Structure formats: C-alpha cells, structure tokens
Chains A and B, each alone.
Chain A
Amino acid sequence: MNCKLAIAFLFFLLIGTSAFAQPIVTGVSDLAFGTMYPGVPLKVDKASASAAEFSITGTAGAEVTVTFTLPTYMNVSGYTMQMIFFNTDMAIDSNPTPNQLAPAYNDLDPWQTQTVRLGSAGLTVWLGGKAVPALKQQSGSYVADIVLTVQYTGN
C-alpha cells in the first residue's frame, strides 16, 4: 500500500516538473534576396515579405532567450558573397496575431541574445539583412545557414 503511494508520488513529481512544454522553433520562410546583379547590393527589410520568419512555440508566459547564429557570407561552389546584418534587422512579436509591420519588439540587434516572454501563441521572429555582391561576383545560387536557438530562462 505504502509502496503504491510512493510510486504515485514519483509519477506526480515527473508530471509536475514537465509542465514547461518543450520549445519548438520552426523556420517559416527563408531570407530571400531573389535575383541580384553583380556590384549591386540588395537589402531585405525585416518588414518585407522576403524577410526570414521563424515561429517559436512553448509554454505561454515563460521567459526565453532568442539567439541567432548569423552567417557573414553566402556560398556557392566555393565562391562567397558578403552578408551584413545591422543592429536593427530583427523584430519579435508575441501577440496571438503577429504584425510584421508593427511588432511588439522592433529594431532589435540580431547579433545580441534577446530575452522575451512567450505569448499565448508563442513568438514570431523576423530577420532582414543585406547581401553585397562584388563587381565580378560569380553567378549562381548562393545560400547560407541562419540558426535560431531558443532556451527557457526558468523565469
């Protein structure tokens, strides 16, 4: 009888401490520069349809850190093209209906870790950037990885 109670108590502990749902980060859309001409830099605004978009879900109200690992170059077949991320190229919205044009947290620095609370529908993160092809940039389809890491702070 007492043994059953102990097992029940352990089960309660496991359930109780697993209440924070695992954060899930999804890449909704790429940072798409489209077609570019050599020697002509192109900037994608974080409020544009071509901006990168990420969706984060987890426990509503929980505080998380959001950290980008950003590339400095895009690549194709051994050739590189410079990328620039400015200190206002990131935006986050915690509203249930995210508004890319008027996000709750705007003009954030993507090079810095941001600390925010998950909204009832999580968070939406947008990222803009700039690609700078050289005058004699090799033609081709350039790609680079953008990694977004999300972690609960425990607060």
Chain B
Amino acid sequence: MFSKNSRFLSLIAILLMAGIFVAGSTSNVSAQAAVTNTADATVLAAITIAATTNLNFASVYPGVPKTVARTATGADTTAAIFTITGQAGAGISAFLVLPEYVSETGGDRMTVSFGTTDMALDTTTTANPSTIVAGDGWIDQDPRSFPAALVIGGTVPAVTTTKVYLGGKVIPSVFQTAGAYTGDIILTVAYNGN
C-alpha cells in the first residue's frame, strides 16, 4: 500500500518526466527554420548571322586586277552582305576572317585583298550597300577592325539587325588558270554586354 504522500510524489515524478519529454520535443521542432529564395535572370535572344550575298567578282581577265566596291549591287559584281540579327541596341563584338587568296578546284590560287575602307556597317532597315551614308551606321571601315561601339540595329525605332557590306579586290596573275575561284569569308559575332 502506498501512502497519500507517496502517490503525490509518484504523480509529480510522472508529470515531471512528461514535461521534460514534451518540452524537449517542442525545443527540437523550433530549433530549425528554412526559407527558399530564388535566383532569376532573363536571357535575351541569341545572335544569328546570315550570309545574305556573296562577294562576287564575276569574270576577270588574267593579269587584270578587279575591284568590287562595298557599294556594288550590280547584276554581276556584288559586295558581300552579312546580316546580323539579335537584341535591338545590344553591343556586339565582331571579327572577320579574310582570305588571302581564292582557289579553283585544280588548286591554282588567285590573290584577293581588302582595303582599309572596304567595309560599311548598316544599322537601319532602309539602306543597302549602294545607298548607305554615314548616318546609317559606319562607312569606309577597315574590315580587320570593327568599331568598338558596334551595336545591333537600334532601340528607337527598334531595329534588330545590323548588316555588314564588304568589297574587295582580286589580282589574277598573267598566267592565272581559267576557272571558278572561291574563298571563305568568316564573320564571328558575339554580344559584349554593352
């Protein structure tokens, strides 16, 4: 038989243990917290480049150099046109890899050269190689060095293209082999974050 005091002491002990258990559980639940935040970014459209028109010298005679102006849009001779498309007004860096010669299938080569004013850059939608003026972008540029401020089109009004016009000169030798000569002109363009 337990005495009255013993029963009360037992009750206190039980309640004490229960209290510690409950308090301990409560402490564990409240000891940790977490939150989820986000990282966010909006990526604009990637740049695309199209070789719209080839630099076409048409027929040339052995021993007679021939120049195609950056303004040429004739039926036979044409300036090269590259069209760069991307985010309107975005700063870009561009680089042309120019050939030193063009070659025919038999392996003969013909020298091709590019002068320091053989390139124009058109940021409008209205101009073409023959009508571009300084206000349309850049004229008489060195194709080996694009302007640092080069952009895609403009923002007011929104224009999403910049066109590159390129002329050049071929210098056939007196004994140049007859045939069709070709060479690659490679344009590389990337956003520069400006």
Contacts and interface: CB of A to CB of B under 8 A. Distances in A.
B182 to A, nearest CB: 27
Contacts of B16: 6, 9-10, 13
Interface in A56-90: 56, 71, 74, 81, 83
A17 B41 contact: no
Interface in A135-151: 135-151
A9 B36 contact: no
Given A135-B46, A142-B41, A3 B26 contact: no
Contact of B191 (A22, A40, A143): A40
A71 B39 CA distance: 9
Contacts, number: 177
B87 interface: yes
Contacts of B8: 2-3, 6
Centre residue among A26, A40, A133, A137 by max chain B CB count within 10 A: A40
Q: How large is the interface on B (under 10, 10 to 19, 20 to 34, 35 or more residues)?
A: 35 or more
Given A14-B19, A23-B33, A149-B33, A143 B46 contact: no
Interface residues of A, number: 62
A129 interface: yes
A38 B15 contact: no
Interface of A: 2-3, 5-7, 9-10, 13-14, 16-18, 20-27, 29-40, 42, 52, 54, 56, 71, 74, 81, 83, 129, 131, 133, 135-152, 154
8 tightest A-B CB contacts, nearest first: A37-B191, A33-B41, A17-B23, A27-B37, A22-B30, A13-B19, A31-B39, A25-B35
20 contacts: A6-B8, A16-B23, A17-B27, A18-B26, A18-B30, A30-B39, A37-B44, A37-B90, A39-B190, A40-B192, A42-B41, A52-B37, A54-B37, A81-B43, A131-B39, A135-B46, A139-B43, A147-B34, A151-B32, A152-B32
B23 to A, nearest CB: 4
Given A13-B19, A74-B41, A150 B30 contact: no
A145 B33 CA distance: 16
Contact of B47 (A20, A38, A144): A38
B22 interface: yes
A48 B13 CA distance: 57
B95 to A, nearest CB: 14
A15 B44 CA distance: 56
Contacts of B97: none
